[in-house]
Structure 1
Amino acid sequence: MPRKAISGATGSLLVDLELADAEELSAKAVLAIKLNELIEKRGLSQTEAASITGMTQPKVSQVRRFKLQNISLERLMQALVSLDQHVEIVVRPARRAHGAGITVAAR
């Protein structure tokens, strides 16, 4: 079956699907991936992760399952800080080729 090219593809599946909050969900997903990596690397239970991050255990469970609709970007950033991470937000003029938008990267 031939593949159909998506005109104007952005490189973000969520944005390409034209979800109303795609950029925010994409940013949350990047932060959640990093948070989950740290929880796994440290061998933390959800209860231990909740205690360290100040989140409730049910919120940690949501992050672990990438159910991010009810978790703010700020909450995810604070959780990363409580796990000894430095979170940096950079604002710069948009490049014409890419336009305005939100990009989040985790190392």
Structure 2
Amino acid sequence: MARKANSKGIDNVLVDLGFDDAEELSAKAMLALKLNKLIDKRGLCQTEVAAITGMTQPKVSQVRRYKLQNISLERLMQALVAFDQHVEIVVYQARRAHALGISVAA
């Protein structure tokens, strides 16, 4: 998670801060946000979430605190599926060079 200098602001604050993996972190944050909303809606504790998702309780704690560097996109998607969600990945040709990358709509 190295940072690089960036003087021009864009739509992603993590890119603006210079994170090399900004797009992936943004995608993880969107998935974690959706998962945390589902957890809150159901009123579950971390051990219950761990039992549902197959994650360890410490990993659930990391998701709850948005500490996502050690959690894969795939693991977050699997956790959402365990919460009866449909996760869809769509790949298409970018029309503009600055449109390249990863985005998540939750």
> TM-score, length-normalised on structure 1?
0.88
Cα distance in 1 for residues equivalent to 2:7 and 2:58: 40
Greater mean deviation of Cα atoms: 35-44 or 7-16:
7-16
Contact 2:30 2:105 in 1 (8 A): yes
Cα distance in 2 for residues equivalent to 1:32 and 1:40: 12
**1:6-63 deviation digits (Å, cap 9, x = unpaired):** 9743311001222111111000000000000000000110000000001000000000
Larger radius of gyration: 1
Opposite residue 70 of structure 1, the aligned amino acid is N
Over aligned residues, Cα RMSD in angstroms?
A: 1.5
Give the count of matched residue pairs. Answer: 101
Opposite residue 100 of structure 2, the aligned amino acid is A
List runs of 5+ in structure 1 lacking aligned partners: 1-5
Q: 1:82 maps to which residue?
A: 82
Q: 2:26 maps to which residue?
A: 26
What does 1:63-74 correspond to in 2, within 5 Å?
63-74=63-74
Cα distance in 2 for residues equivalent to 1:49 and 1:28: 18
Cα distance in 1 for residues equivalent to 2:21 and 2:7: 20
Q: Which has the higher contact order (CA 8 A, sep 6+)?
A: 1
> TM-score, length-normalised on structure 2?
0.89
